[in-house]
Amino acid sequence: MNNKKLTGTNAVITGASSGLGYAMAEALLEAGAAVALASREGSKLDGAVAGLKAKGYDAHKLPLDVRSEQSVADAVQWVKKEWGTIDVLVNNAGIGMRTVNPRFLVEPQPFYKVTPEGFRNLMDTNVTGYFLVARQFAPMMVEQRKGRIINISMNYETMKRKGFVPYGPSRAATESLSHIMAEDLKEYGVTVNMLLPGGATVTGMIPDEVREEVESQFSLINPRVMAEPIVFLASPASEGLTGERIVAVEFEQWLKERGINLA
């Protein structure tokens, strides 16, 4: 793949200060894109952007709370002022099961023990957050008659796994949202696709205190698994592709089945 195939592409990634978001931001930057790393204000975001800038990448800090309409509106205004256009929006910001049960992978907790506050907090970020961000950036893409929205999801198995309320339902909802968004935006030349790693990844969603236990039971995936598919979805190679669900660990097979050659 041409390393600079995304030169001239403007991308916003939510939840980009660490984990999957950071890995995808770095991949798009390596491919020549300008990337706004959107995340809640703080030293983690500052450090992530500073590190990428030090490598010579066109990285930008974009403070954003996906649960706040005003914060999203401010981010849209930043994009309009700094870039004028947006080519790629990656909805990735989310919180995991650790917020309701820190030992969720080794000691699953039934749904009736999840607090209403914990349920609402996760759904507000993982589902409503995707909606709020896409809702305010989509009109820019509709006006441009082009744009790509990529919503990050997870395995179907996790949506049905014991002890995975509310994270499982949150991602099932974002997949339904993604399919409907794809249909709503199709006539305007704007595409919406889903991307997921394909298993548990080495991210902050797994608490440090249970990481050793988890690693003894699960084979954790490096977040860089998202690099090649996210560059593909942001590039001309995916032109016209919409409503697709790509599993990163199966990406090569997915390409082969569709006769797509990225060489």
Terminal Cα-to-Cα distance of the chain (whole angstroms) = 5
pLDDT at 189 (0 to 100): 98
* pLDDT mean across residues, the chain: 93
Among 44-48, 137-141, 185-189, 197-201, the least confident range: 197-201
Among 137-141, 145-149, 202-206, 219-223, the least confident range: 202-206
Query: Which two structure tokens, joined as six digits, stand for 36?
Result: 């706004």
* Separation CA 139–CA 64 (nearest Å): 18
pLDDT at 212 (0 to 100): 61
pLDDT above 70: percentage of residues in the chain: 92
Residue with tokens 């993982």: 126
Residue 95's identity, in one-letter code, is I
pLDDT at 211 (0 to 100): 54
Query: Which two structure tokens, joined as six digits, stand for 27?
Result: 């991949």
The pLDDT tens digits for 204-217 are 555 555 556 555 55
- CB-based contacts of 198: which residues, under 8 Å, 6+ apart? 155, 221, 225, 247, 248, 249, 250
CA 169, distance to chain mean position in Å, is 17
The pLDDT tens digits for 78-133 are 999 999 999 999 999 999 988 999 888 788 999 999 999 999 999 999 999 999 99
Residue 253's identity, in one-letter code, is Q
* Separation CA 105–CA 144 (nearest Å): 44
CA 251, distance to chain mean position in Å, is 16
DSSP 3-state of 122: helix
Sheet containing 190-196, strands listed edge to edge, beginning at the edge strand earlier in sequence: 59-63, 34-39, 10-14, 88-91, 147-152, 190-196, 245-247
* Separation CA 226–CA 162 (nearest Å): 26
Number of Cβ atoms within 10 Å of the Cβ of 154: 25
Q: Given a cut of 70, is residue 1 above it in pLDDT?
A: no
pLDDT at 237 (0 to 100): 95
- CB-based contacts of 248: which residues, under 8 Å, 6+ apart? 195, 196, 197, 198, 221, 225, 226, 228, 229
Asked if 190 contacts 147 with a C-beta cutoff of 8 angstroms, the reply is yes
pLDDT band of 2, cuts 50, 70, 90: very low
Q: Alpha helix locations (H) across 93-250? A: 116-123, 129-144, 156-160, 167-185, 211-217, 227-234
Q: In angstroms, what CA-CA distances link 245 with 153, 193, 196, 241, 254?
A: 9, 6, 8, 10, 10
Mean pLDDT of 151-177: 96
pLDDT band of 201, cuts 50, 70, 90: confident
Burial class (CB in 10 A: 0-12, 13-18, 19+), 3: exposed
- Domains (range + CATH), the chain: 10-257 (3.40.50.720)
